[in-house]
Structure formats: C-alpha cells, structure tokens
Amino acid sequence: MTSVAILGSTGSIGTQTLDVIRRNPEEFSVEVLAAGSSADLVIEQIAEFKPSLVVMADAAAAQKIKTEFDTLQVYHGKEALEKAATQSDVIVNAIVGFAGLPVTLAALNAGKRLALANKESLIAGGPIVQKARESKNAQIIPVDSEHCALHQCLGGDTTNADEPFTTVKKLLLTASGGPFRKWTKTELNQATLEDALNHPTWSMGQKITIDSSTLMNKGLEVIEAHELFGIGYDQIDVIVHPQSVIHSMVEFVDSSVIAQLSMPDMRLPISYALRYPTRGEAPWGEINWDTMRRLDFEKPNEEAFPCLGLAYEAGKIGETAPAWLNAANEIAVEAFLKRVIKWVEIPEIIQMTLNEFDGVLAETEHDIYAADRKARVIATAVMEKL
Ligand code: NAD
Ligand code: MG
C-alpha cells in the first residue's frame, strides 16, 4: 500500500489524483489532504478518503473542517504545509503557483518521492530545488504530461544519472497551441477572458489555462525540462501539435525519435508518477486507432506569442531570473483574470519587469523568496503605469 499526500487536493490535478486513487483502493491510501480555502470540498474528500492530516492555507477554512471532524488533525499555514509534505510515501504537489515552493523543498529535503505538477516551484526555485534533490532517496517524478512523456522516452528516472544524456540530440516539447493558435495579432488585441479560458484540448485550472493561451505555459515547461533532465536550452525545441496526442518526444543522436502517445487526460501521467517504476491500470488515455486519422505539426508563432521567447531568455540567464519571470507572469495573469489588463499586456508586463532584473544569484532559499517579492513589486508598478 502506497500512502499519498495530496497538496492542492481541491484543484484540477488534485481531484484527478483522487480519481486515480478512488479506482485503486487496494494500492493507495490518502494520508494527507491540503488545499487553499475550499473547506466544503475538503470536507467531502475527508469523508470519502479518511486522511489522518489536513492542512489549509486559510485559517477560517481549517476551523470549519475542525468543527466537522473534531478528532482529526487539522492545521493551517506554511509550516504545517511543509510538515504535511513529509508525511507519506508519495507527495503530490498540485498547488498552483509559487505557493508550491515550500512543498517541493520540504518533500525533497525529507527524501520523498515528489510527484510534481507544480511546475512554478521548480522554475522559480531551480538552483535550490536541485540542491534539495540531492537528499538521500529524494526523487522528482513529473506529472506535467510533456515531462512525463519525456521521462518515459528517456527511459525513466534520471535524478542520479552519473552521465548526462550524451545520446540525446533534442527534447521536442509538444504544445497544443492553445485557443489562439490561428489568431492574428489584430485579433489577439481584442482577446477576452472567455476566449482565453476556452482551451481546445485540456480542461485545467484557470492559471495554467491562461498560461496555455499565451504560450507561457510552454515557456515554463522549457525551463522545467531543462531543470528536470539537465538538457541545454539549445537542445529543447517546441512543436505545435494541435491534437495533444503526442505528449512530447526525444530525438537521439542517430536521428531516431521516440514519442509517447495517449489521449489527453492527466490521470495517466498522475498514475505514472504515483506508480513509477511500475505501471498499473489507467484506462483514461486509451487511443481509438479506428478513429484516429491524423496528427499535425507546425512551428509556434513566436512573434504573436512573445512569452515563449521570454521564458527561453530568463531560463538561459538562470539564477533568480526564472523566479522573476514566474512572479511577473503570476501578477499579470491574476490581473488578466480580474479583467484589469488586456491579454496582450501580459507579455508586455513580463518583458518590462525582466528589463529591471538585478542579476542576484540564487544561492539560498532566501534569495528565491526575495527575488519573487521584488519582481512582484516591480511587475505591479509596471502594470500601474500601463
Ligand atoms: P487549480 O487552480 O485547479 O488548483 C490549485 C490547488 O492549489 C487548489 O486545490 C487550491 O486550493 C490549492 N492552493 C492554492 N493556493 C494554495 C496555498 N497557498 N496553499 C495550499 N494550497 C493552495 O490548479 P491546477 O490546474 O490543478 O494546477 C495545479 C498545478 O499543476 C499548477 O502548477 C499547474 O501548472 C500544474 N499542472 C496542471 C495541469 C492540469 O491539467 N490542470 C497540467 C499540468 C500541470
Ligand atoms: Mg504540460
């Protein structure tokens, strides 16, 4: 029996993780649930999965849950969240945004298997996450579908590989292209929140859905791939593949390409991360080869979607630059979700924030938190000027 901690249990990845566990009760038990403020949904989850520990970001939500289940351990706040991230065999980080960093670090420092959906923590905290990853038995298994695909194409866990991948020529990250794939620059000027939330192939949380519409999600995933697999930015390419059936590919030095295919359903990569190195039944991504007709590919339009290039730039600078990129993006996306800015202003705010980057090295955890705070202040100021 594998015990699982699900941090971010009320979100898109969190609820799909519970779906995988619901279907395999003999294999998995839920030991920890954590979420932001949705007390009512967590109360339902507790009744069904019977965890021994619950942590909420919000104090009032924790109090409400405590009233329902008076013998259950229920806590709130960052320290409790960090403690929760060390309590099970597998820690699923399904929190959205930079708020997931304490979970990533605590899980790795405790030598746990981290099933990582929260890409922002790895991107913003790259250098210090790498140090935490050296802890004995610590392991990151990516939940992001592209990186799960790459993990499979590369032949499994790479955390302690002595040799870098000398036989890899390229990582080929696929992108659906999002809802605006065929939009012109003039049309993009008029893009609304509803347009941006209308993703063609994936149903996900709001933040990542907006990131997919700007291609920032793919930019973040380029950095994520670099951090996970240690492959240089010049060897990571993005290919638009509108059907989202090929989840990514690896091209080797002999020009052989290995791809991973399945229908778009996050429960498959979640199941892979929970069960690695074995596999188990996960029927959701099954392909119907009788109706599968074609798989298309095109180049991303970097002019209409500048976020992709901005991410490569910040990734190549390294150190605290990706933390700045991530923070500016979170500020801009939040403002767009509140209808304070236009869609086309998202990359402008990020670019103008990165123009102020101070070059601070990422030597300690403190450097990352400080960079995040500073970039948020600058991004907010930049936004007010617009
Ligand atoms: P979501 O918005 O649906 O859910 C976010 C979860 O995080 C919720 O449970 C929320 O309560 C919790 N949360 C937010 N702030 C918190 C805090 N401070 N402390 C504790 N919990 C907090 O988001 P999502 O779409 O499930 O995405 C989660 C992560 O997975 C993101 O990093 C996203 O990029 C990544 N991801 C998601 C998908 C997908 O299909 N949804 C695919 C790949 C990667
Ligand atoms: Mg992805």
- Same structural domain for residues 152 and 284? yes
Whether residue 271 is contained in a domain is answered as: no
Q: Which of 6, 7, 10, 13 to mutate to test the pocket of ligand 1 (most atoms within 8 A of CB)?
A: 13
Whether residue 323 is contained in a domain is answered as: yes
In the predicted structure, residue 160 carries a pLDDT above the cut 60 = no
Domain span at residue 334?
318-386
pLDDT in tens, 86-126: 999 999 999 999 999 999 999 999 999 999 999 999 999 99
CA angle 14, 17, 21 (to 5 degrees): 140
- Same structural domain for residues 116 and 132? yes
In the predicted structure, residue 85 carries a pLDDT above the cut 70 = yes
- Same structural domain for residues 18 and 60? yes
Beta-sheet pairing, 53-56 with 28-35: parallel
- Same structural domain for residues 219 and 326? no
Domain count, the chain: 3
Distance CA 144, CA 45 (A): 23
Residues of the chain with pLDDT > 90, as a percent, come to 95
> 123: CA distance to ligand 2 center in Å?
13
Residue 182: CA count within 13 A, CB half-sphere: 2
What mean pLDDT comes out for the span 161-170? 78
Type of residue numbered 155: G
Distance CA 209, CA 192 (A): 13
Return the SS3 of 375.
helix
User: How confident is residue 166, by pLDDT bands cut at 50, 70 and 90?
Assistant: confident
User: How confident is residue 9, by pLDDT bands cut at 50, 70 and 90?
Assistant: very high
* The last residue of a domain, from among 118, 142, 166: 142
Q: What is the mean pLDDT of the chain?
A: 96
In the predicted structure, residue 162 carries a pLDDT above the cut 60 = no
* The last residue of a domain, from among 142, 158, 192: 142
Closest ligand (CA of 269) = 1
pLDDT in tens, 124-156: 999 999 999 999 999 999 999 999 999 999 987
User: How confident is residue 165, by pLDDT bands cut at 50, 70 and 90?
Assistant: confident
> 61: CA distance to ligand 2 center in Å?
30
User: How confident is residue 171, by pLDDT bands cut at 50, 70 and 90?
Assistant: very high
User: How confident is residue 159, by pLDDT bands cut at 50, 70 and 90?
Assistant: low
